[in-house]
Structure 1
């Protein structure tokens, strides 16, 4: 049976009609010891010629298989690269577009705004103020960035101090309520403590400027912060008692804005004018330089700019005129 198969395969090989599978079968028979011993060159042809024909076919097939494998590998790599590109594009889109920013930025604009932080602390922002805070407090301390004016009611957590960072100072607290006024355009920074305890430090936290007790206000000139370690600038860093707008001392002047009031105590006219610009969007220009230093104490609720100026005129006289969106004091 095997001899008939062998002879049949050799005939097909000689006539070039052998299939790939049959060529493989003949190759196996050719390699057997018995096959080589029983070779009959008269009927089966020259042994070496047949061997070369068999091997040539087998090599061609194997080379073809290799090319197929290489093609398959290349195709796989192309598909893998395409999948990787799709994944990377999706990841990049998620990172740049869909992934939320780790920080929240709140701007109050022209109205007051209340914000509750992740730890439950509450901040009431005055007009034209900006607050930046993390969505989650993950570090050993809770830190926010602030510019403008705000009233802070901080949840107590001794193991995680609360830090309010402004461009010029930092305020560190554990659990307290205080007012911070740090507008970019103002020459000074004010911190008024209602209850609890706060520490006011330089922006890089290398020096403590003051430790406040309740009903006291810390005032520092921004320029003085640069040389706050020098004796001659000590007078520009003050801690003074808070002023109140009621006889019972229950309504601090520094918190009047929370109730929608416009109040000030022993404030120079030029400081009042700066507050009026924020509140009423009006520029007050002093041609009368002496009037800029007039000091006033008053509280207003629904009055407009003209009502306020007329009331101030009754305390210390000055004249003014309106020029479009400007008021000139002369």
Structure 2
């Protein structure tokens, strides 16, 4: 998720506009991400002095309530945070984080988070029968009420979906900037924080893409791409099957830079890749690398590009061939 997404959720909470799903999602991510409290604090403390008195009273009312109701159950670390907040009126965000972390909630209502670490993949069947393949370095989150009134999941990374058909309850994949809605279809969504673009590609059926207050419909073998920097949404025709080769262990690159390729290989094989020659980064490659491991992938790149590599300890270093003396 982006910092802006966290801030937007926090602001909606302060304005009493956040849904139970959004509050639950933010709470679960705060629990699982040790950096988020610092992130929220760093980004919002500067604006906290402009918060109105009602907002401040709301947040600190919750903190005071938690101090009194959870004296016996709070951990020492949480007690220290609460004491810190009580002494210093600001930042507001720390109070909010503690409030979410210490809330008494029914564990059965906690969201489900499925994570595929770098070097791993995961397959999951959702409660509605939809099938999801989760690529390396990705996570999928859904609330306890999934498949009741709605079917929404949050994706960070890449996943392929085969959605169970249900015309009354559209299936929605939410990412940091793009929402993809389907009724019964198969599609791929890619939304890594480290990448400049978010994309979705349709293999079967139809999907509706919502991003930056724009909406577009995709047909089979069409791709929608949103550039996070320029805020431009574009569509094109592709061979969709190529883009889900990762399900079979293969890696397909479509005119991608070596910088992006290095990031992808690092994520898939859980290795550290560095550039000794910066001129390699913008060079591009198209093709499919097989499932025979990182050495095979690098050997193919060496044969088809002006690149060679060596291994130093546990780090792979990429060089440009013309730098060889």
Per the normalisation by structure 1, the TM-score is 0.60
Aligned counterparts of 2:273 and 2:110: Cα–Cα separation in 1: 41
| In structure 1, C-alpha distance between the alignment counterparts of 2:162 and 2:147, rounded to whole Å | 20
1:217 aligns with 2:223: yes
1:260 corresponding residue in structure 2:
249
Q: Contact between 2:182 and 2:207, CA under 8 Å: does it hold in 1?
A: yes
Matched, 1:104 2:94: no
* Partner Cα separation in structure 1 for residue 290 and residue 308 of structure 2: 23
User: Residues 223-265 of structure 1: CA distance to partner in whole angstroms, max 9, x if unpaired?
Assistant: 122xx4xxxxxxxx33222247xxxxxxx22111111112223
1:97 positional shift: 7.9
TM-score, normalised by the number of residues in structure 2: 0.61
Q: Residues of 2 paired with 1:211 and 1:97: CA distance?
A: 39
User: 1:180, CA displacement in angstroms?
Assistant: 0.5
**Distance in 2 between the 1:304 and 1:118 partners?**
34
| Bigger RCO of structures 1 and 2 (CA < 8 A, at least 6 apart) | 2
CA radius of gyration, larger in? 1
2: distance between equivalents of 1:188 and 1:199? 18
Residue by residue, what CA displacement relative to the aligned partner does 1:161-180 show, whole Å, maximum 9, x if unpaired?
11111111111111111001
Matched, 1:129 2:106: no
Describe the SS at the equivalent of 1:157.
Answer: coil
Conserved 8 A contact 1:282-1:327: no
Q: Which residue of 2 aligns with 1:249?
A: none
Q: Identify the match of residue 327 of structure 1 among 302, 317, 320.
A: 317
Give the Cα separation in 1 of the matches to 2:124 and 2:249: 17
| Aligned 8 A contact 2:127 2:146 in 1 | yes
**Cross-structure match for 1:248:** none
1:290-309 correspondence runs (5 A): 290-309=279-298
CA shift for structure 1 position 96: 4.5
Provide the rounded CA distance (Å) in 1 between the counterparts of 2:105 and 2:178: 34
CA distance, structure 1, for counterparts of residue 229 and residue 236 of structure 2: 19
CA contact (8 A) 1:192 1:215 kept: yes
| CA gap 1:279/1:137 in 2 versus in 1, 3 angstroms | closer
Per the alignment, residue 182 of structure 2 pairs with: 173
C-alpha contact (below 8 Å) 1:284/1:329 kept by paired residues: no
Paired residue for 1:207? 214
Q: Is the 8 A contact 2:120 2:268 kept in 1?
A: no
Taking the aligned partners of 2:173 and 2:208, their CA distance within structure 1 comes to 11
> 2:259 matched to which residue of 1?
270
2:76 match: none
Secondary structure of the equivalent of 1:223? coil
Distance in 2, Cα, partners of 1:193 & 1:199: 10
How far 1:322 moved relative to its partner? 2.7
Number of corresponding residues? 220
Instruction: Work out which of the residue numbers 226, 230, 238 in structure 2 matches 1:242.
Output: 238
Residues 327 and 281 of structure 1: is their aligned pair in 2 closer, same or farther, counting only changes over 3 Å?
A: farther
The alignment status of 1:184 with 2:190, answered yes or no, reads: no
Equivalent residue, structure 2, for 1:194:
203
C-alpha contact 2:127 2:147 (8 A) present in aligned 1:
no
Residue 271 of structure 2 aligns with which residue?
282
Q: Which residues of structure 2 form unaligned runs of 5+?
A: 1-68, 74-102, 321-325
- Tell me the distance in 2 between the aligned counterparts of 1:176 and 1:288: 43
Q: Shift of the alpha carbon at 1:276?
A: 0.5
- Cα distance in 1 for partners of 2:166, 2:106 equals 33
Q: CA RMSD in A?
A: 2.7
